[in-house]
Amino acid sequence: MGEGESSSSTSATRHSCLKLQTDPSTRESIFIKGTWFPSHFRLLITDGLHAWTCDASEPEVRQRAEQWDQPPSEYVALAETYLGFQQPGSTYGFQDAGNGQKRLSWTFEKQGTKLEWRWKCQPSSDSKQTTAGILDFLMDANIRLSDEVVRKTQSFERLKGEAERCLSQSERFNKEKTEFESAVYAKFVAVLNSKKAKLRELRDRISKLEAAGKAPVEEGDSTDKTESFDEKSDDELVDPPPSTSKNVAASTPKGRKRRT
């Protein structure tokens, strides 16, 4: 497995360093430090004892990019993808090319076809200096990563503390909310029961008033009925008894005197 580290800045120049395992059986590895420009790149390679360099100039990159129907920037970006991090599906090679030279190669797929790129690397004029430059870059990158880890850890601890405080505050607010709702509900129930009691009292008073109002009316009705009964009785008393043959003569003169 390869280990890689890359960093980018606001400028067009980028740097990367890849630990590439060239032979899984022997676990032999090399370190490839890449400096990436918009239209060319430079590689520094070491196995810890020897070092090599590869200067991919703009004309060379342009020529190879034209062969693959690519702009130079896309060619450089694709090379950085495979030499900045070891890709699992790619086959890497670092073979002798004679006269101390090495041939660096890697494969990739494009539109279902497996392709291979190769670049020849020249022996470094100063292997120790090249190796030391790669190690310095790795040390600086490690320091930057360590500082970043410390900052991230501190930020995480700070956020964790804030989250715990927020959680505690939320639980307290929830408890206060529950207590407040219980108190308000209890007051509401008391007020509601009081209103219900007053409504019942008013309903009872209204019922009593209605009952008291109906009593005189009924008494008046009974008086009227009695008076009508009495009038009817008087009429019956005033009405003369049925006529007989004995009193017809006596009653007729009296009637005549009234008319005169």
DSSP codes, 57-101: -HHHHHHHHHHTT--HHHHHHHHHHHHHS--TT--EEEEEEETTE
Residue 48 DSSP symbol: S
Give mean pLDDT, residues 74-83: 94
What pLDDT, on the 0 to 100 scale, is given for residue 188?
87
Q: How many domains does the chain have?
A: 1
Residue 151: inside a domain: no
What pLDDT, in 10s, does the model give residues 1-46?
A: 444 444 444 357 899 999 998 777 777 899 999 999 999 999 999 9
Longest dimension (CA), the chain: 185
Q: How confident is the model at residue 171 (pLDDT cuts 50, 70, 90)?
A: very high
Residue 88: inside a domain: yes
Cα 45 to Cα 11: distance, rounded to the nearest angstrom:
24
Cα 45 to Cα 124: distance, rounded to the nearest angstrom:
9
Does this model's pTM top 0.85? My answer is: no
Q: Which of 24-28, 83-87, 92-96 has the lowest mean pLDDT?
A: 24-28
CATH of the domain at 78: 2.170.210.10
User: What is the extent of the structural domain holding 14?
Assistant: 3-125
